[in-house]
Structure 1
Amino acid sequence: DAKSQGALTVSITNNADSPLAQVAAHHLPLMAGEEISVAATKTYTTELTAVALITKALVPTLDPEDHLNKLPSYVQSTLTLSEPIADWAMRYRYMDRFASIGRGYNYCTAFEVSLKIKELCYVTGVEYSEADFRHGPIALVQPGFPVIVSAPTGKTLPGMIDLLGALKEKQAECLVISNNEDALKSAISPMPTAMLPEWLSPIVTVIPGQVFAMQLALAKGHSVDKPIGLNKVTVTR
């Protein structure tokens, strides 16, 4: 419809021969290799990277220190920092509900982390921005209620730290993904990440959440390769 109305159309896919790639006026291939996982991970992060590349092309002065080209090292560092998750994920093996919170650039991270936990662990979760969560849903929080907070350094961090204080008063079980020491100190289960500019942070902030979902699924005795009821390809009309 967009193309028929004269709009500029751009597709970002990992398959240059896909119908979406063919119908768009311009196509940006991810070239991430085959995504074998049913619960997609690398194609999500490479899509974010593609958007970052487009953004830098439009605003060349955005990244004077060339952080974009350093992404592989930031990702590797975050994967290394995420290794301890395997040691404490068992703590949450009986978790049957949770909330996932993010804001700004990492509002999307709250949704992606929640999705991976739902797909792999079959646990009910809700996703909110920090502002919306305060407006009413925070009433859900009882002692021991798990709340996953994505709170990297940036403009939204002060509000996230303030929320963590409120959650601590409610005796919530806080799992914090951050590269900020104060935010991580508020966590029962900290998930540190590499330090990088906020506009690129979703690419690495999501990684500990993906690792946690995998480790929690294993702790619950689920198959991460064959999630129940999921198919690699679905038909949408």
Structure 2
Amino acid sequence: KNNEMAVIRRGEPLSIFEIDSHTPSKISIKQLKLSLAQLEKGGYDTFMLKEIFEQPTTLRDCLRGRITGDCSRVTLSGVELNRDRFLQAERITLVACGTSWHAALIGKRLIQDFCQIPVEVEYASEFRYGNPVLNDRDIVIAISQSGETADTLAAIQLAKDKGAFVYGVCNVVGASIPRATDSGTYIHVGPEIGVASTKAFTGQVTVLTLLALAVGQLRGVIDSSTVQSVATALNAMPGTIEETLKCNDAVQKLSMFFTYAHNFIYLGRGYNYPTALEGALKLKEISYIHAEGYPAAEMKHGPIALIDQEMPSVIIAPSDSLYDKIISNVQQVKSRGGAVVAIVSKGNTAMKDIANFCIEIPDVPECLTPLVASIPLQLLAYYIAVNKGKNVDQPRNLAKSVTVE
């Protein structure tokens, strides 16, 4: 903790005490469930590729024990132990940075759809300086892979000072954010070595889906058929991701066409607007190609001016409630000479007549499409970066954990 010092001497027990008073501190030592294999590449060329292909396993770990056998109920101990806080909540604010912020945007839609609570999403760095209006009926959910993000930690302290209940969604057991929050849920995806987050993103989205279902049930505002269908599909998600990863070879070949592009635009609607942002961020982080994520419907309000033969577009177009709308976006890009890579639901043959390239993903409930759509986007960024000879595990100028402002 702050203002504590640890002293380690060979052959003696660990000593932790307060720096000012030299008073011994009470400590609880926990052994991490970590194997050496998790810290090695395991036959893969890079940690990032290993972590992309680990996602069926990591989501299995993330889901374990949280959905009942008949998929009729979702249980999170952090919600159950704080029932009154979630029952009385008038507003939820999600704070995060980077990839975690994209997960938060998906979480916002999930919580609003399933819990009928107003939700806001803030960059932690902006939240802490924005003089937020909070009270004891507010819940602030802080999301961080490392649990050490400086801006998010500062946002947590500000929220607690204003009386809000703070809930953490984190990966690293015993990190600063889990210790600073009032309660929370671990995503349990194991150590993520690659700087560009992959399995932590899908783990965060999975936990936020579980959280939305659990709170919706607690508040009695979600019908049992919705819980059953979403929980069943979520429970099957590890196998669904395994199926999705079969696109690897196709994406690797596709990447050759775009290795020397200078700009990309990623478009998505609804639940997949944040997926587009995340896909663009992955490409920027590891290939150093400029990429921009945008809500597809907003393309006509400016970005369409960028479209030409040198500007490829990646358009996320699963067969959901907004599919008919996004087809028009594909046609608009094509009519201006732009190349289109479309992420479509399996069996969609119509899009093949419009887009230059199609990558198929399994059909899942609309709210879960970010989990499967993110897989080909991770692979596309990865192979473009590899083709360019970049160090995908340690991209320039980036750190795995941002512990300063």
Which interval holds the TM-score relative to the shorter structure? over 0.9
Does 1:236 find its partner at 2:394? Answer: no
- Structure 1 residue 117 and structure 2 residue 274: aligned? no
**Tell me, what secondary structure is at the counterpart of 1:139?**
helix
Give the structure 1 partner of residue 303 of structure 2.
137
Structure-2-length-normalised TM-score: 0.56
The alignment partner of 1:100 has SS state of: strand
Which of 153, 167, 191 aligns to 1:34? It is 191
1:64 aligns with 2:228: yes
Kindly state the Cα deviation for residue 231 of structure 1 after the two structures are TM-superposed. 1.4
| 1:132 Cα deviation from its structure 2 partner | 1.3
SS of aligned partner of 1:125: strand
What pairs up with 1:153-168 in 2 under 5 angstroms? 153-168=319-334
**Does 1:54 pair with 2:211?**
yes
**Residue 37 (structure 1) shift:** 0.9
Structure 2 counterpart of 1:96: 262
3-state SS, counterpart of residue 177 of structure 1: strand
Determine helix, strand or coil for the equivalent of 1:161: helix
Kept after mapping to 1: 8 A contact 2:268/2:275: yes
Structure 1: which 5+ residue stretches go unaligned? none
The amino acid across from 2:196 in the alignment is A
SS at match of 1:92: coil
Amino acid at match of 1:229: N
Does structure 2 conserve the Cα–Cα contact (< 8 Å) formed by 1:178 and 1:184?
no
What's the offset of the Cα at 1:29? 0.5
Report what 2:369 is aligned to: 201
More contact order relative to length (CA 8 Å, sep ≥ 6): 1
Alignment gaps of 5+ in structure 2: 1-157, 218-223
How far apart are residue 184 of structure 1 and its match? 4.7
1:146 is the counterpart of 2:316 = no
Instruction: Specify the code of the residue in structure 2 equivalent to 1:156.
Output: L
Shift of 1:31: 0.9
Contact 1:9 1:26 in 2 (8 A): yes
- Choose 223-232 or 206-215, whichever is displaced more: 223-232
Q: Output the CA distance in 1 between the equivalents of 2:215 and 2:209.
A: 10
Quote the residue 1:219 is aligned against: 387
Partner secondary structure for residue 82 of structure 1: helix
Q: Offset at 1:225?
A: 1.8
Q: Is the 8 A contact 1:184 1:191 kept in 2?
A: no
SS for the counterpart of 2:341 is: strand
| Distance of 1:190 and 1:172 partners within structure 2 | 15
Aligned ranges for residues 6-21 of structure 1 at < 5 Å? 6-21=163-178
Structure 1 residues 168-177 or 39-48, which shifts more?
A: 168-177
Shift of 1:185: 4.1
Q: Structure 1 residue 197: deviation in Å? A: 0.5
1:89 and 1:212 in contact (8 A); partners too: yes
Please identify the structure whose Cα radius of gyration is greater.
2
Cα-to-partner distance string for 1:191-227 (whole Å, 9 max, x where unaligned): 2111100101111111100000001111111121221
Query: How many pairs align?
Result: 237
Q: Is the 8 A contact 1:82 1:191 kept in 2?
A: no
* Higher alpha-carbon deviation: 178-187 or 109-118: 178-187
| SS of 1:63 mapped into structure 2 | helix
CA distance in 2, matches of 1:121, 1:155: 33
Q: Percent identity?
A: 30
Match of 1:127 among 256, 275, 293: 293
Counterpart-to-counterpart distance in 2, 1:57 and 1:128: 30
Q: Is the 8 A contact 2:297 2:329 kept in 1?
A: no
In the superposition, the TM-score normalised over structure 1's length comes to 0.95
CA RMSD of aligned residues (A): 1.5
CA distance in 2, matches of 1:201, 1:167: 23
User: Post-superposition shift, 1:64?
Assistant: 2.1
